[in-house]
Structure formats: C-alpha cells, structure tokens
C-alpha cells in the first residue's frame, strides 16, 4: 500500500544532485509531490526535502540508492507521523468580499490569516499550515469567491531529537 513519505537529503552540491535525483525518479517512475531545497544548520550544506507517495519498501530502496550518490551525506525517510511539516499558502480573494462579508472576518480571525496586500479588486491573504488545514481553507474560501491560490513546497523536520551531523 502506498503512503506519503518525506525524504530528507543532506548534500554539499545542489545543482548536480538535482539532475541525478530527477533521472533516478524518472527511471523508477516515482512522482514527486513536493520538492524543497534550502541551506541548513551545517555550513556549506543543503537540505533537500522530497515528498513522495510510495510503498515503504520502494522508499527504503530509494533512500539507499540516494545515499550512494557521491554528493549525498545522508538520506532519511519519514512517515507523516515522524515529522513536523508546514506549507505557506497565498490566497487571492475579491476585496469587496473581504471588506463586506462578516463571515469572512470570523474565518480570517479563526485561522490566523495575514494580509499580504490589499488592492481595489483583490486582497491577498497569507497562511501557514498543514496539508489538511490548507485543503479546508481552500474549500471555505471557494465560498467567498476565491480567485486563485498558490502553496509552497513542504518543509519538514523530523521529530527525533537528533539532527544530522558530519562525522569526523
């Protein structure tokens, strides 16, 4: 049975790694649900967060193959229960709805939305949440004339107390 897993990869070189990872995922016909690259707590290192929907045995095999790539120091795989993750989402809604609908005001306050920009025709709201929260917000805001939205890739930290460190 397929489940959502998050791969956390530590590497020094992000450009060549992306090319190698993309060809590996294409060969194995594994779809990437989310991809994020960032600097991390270790100087001159990058953390790559990749979310896939696959069987556990496939993910274990994939993580082992990723660790064989020269630029990769470590590849962890985690289920959703083993991580804390968030995404940022921007919503564009009609300003008239935002200003005149009292239900919109309570939705705004209940969900800690932030106003990023107000224009005559539209207002852009910003929120940070989980996949489930974001799906709920989209459903609710569709009732208020949601014009468009975009969400970031997932960022995640493992719940275990240890972090990655380079062994000397």
Does this model's pTM top 0.75? My answer is yes
CATH topology identical between 3-83 and 84-151: yes
The CATH number fitting domain 84-151, selected from 1.10.10.10, 3.30.420.40, 2.40.50.140, 3.30.70.1150: 3.30.70.1150
Give the SS3 label for residue 119: coil
DSSP 27-51: HHT--EEEEEEEE-SSTT-EEEEEE
pLDDT digits (tens, 9 = 90+) for 77-125: 999 999 999 999 999 999 998 788 888 888 888 998 999 999 999 999 9
What is the C-alpha to C-alpha distance for residues 71 and 2, in angstroms, rounded to an integer? 28
Residue 112 region, left (φ>0) first, then alpha (ψ -120 to 50), else beta?
left
Domain boundaries, the chain: 3-83, 84-151
Structure tokens at 166: 């380079």
pLDDT digits (tens, 9 = 90+) for 126-163: 999 999 999 999 999 999 999 999 999 999 999 986 76
User: What CATH number does the domain located at 3-83 have?
Assistant: 3.30.70.260
């Amino acid at each position: 049975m397929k489940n959502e897993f998050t791969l956390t990869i530590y590497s020094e070189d992000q450009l060549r790694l992306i090319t190698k990872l993309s060809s590996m995922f294409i060969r194995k016909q594994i779809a990437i649900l989310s991809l994020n690259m960032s600097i991390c707590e270790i100087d001159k290192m990058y953390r790559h967060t990749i979310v896939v929907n696959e069987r556990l045995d496939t993910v274990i095999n994939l993580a082992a193959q990723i660790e064989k790539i020269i630029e990769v120091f470590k590849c962890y795989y985690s289920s959703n229960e083993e991580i804390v993750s968030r995404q940022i989402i921007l919503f564009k809604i009609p300003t008239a709805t935002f200003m005149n609908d009292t239900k919109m005001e309570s939705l705004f306050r209940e969900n800690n939305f932030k106003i990023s920009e107000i224009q005559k025709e539209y207002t852009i709201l910003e929120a940070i949440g989980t996949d489930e929260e974001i799906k709920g917000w989209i459903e609710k805001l569709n009732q208020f004339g949601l014009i468009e939205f975009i969400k970031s890739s997932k960022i995640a930290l493992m719940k275990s107390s240890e972090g990655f460190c380079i062994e000397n």
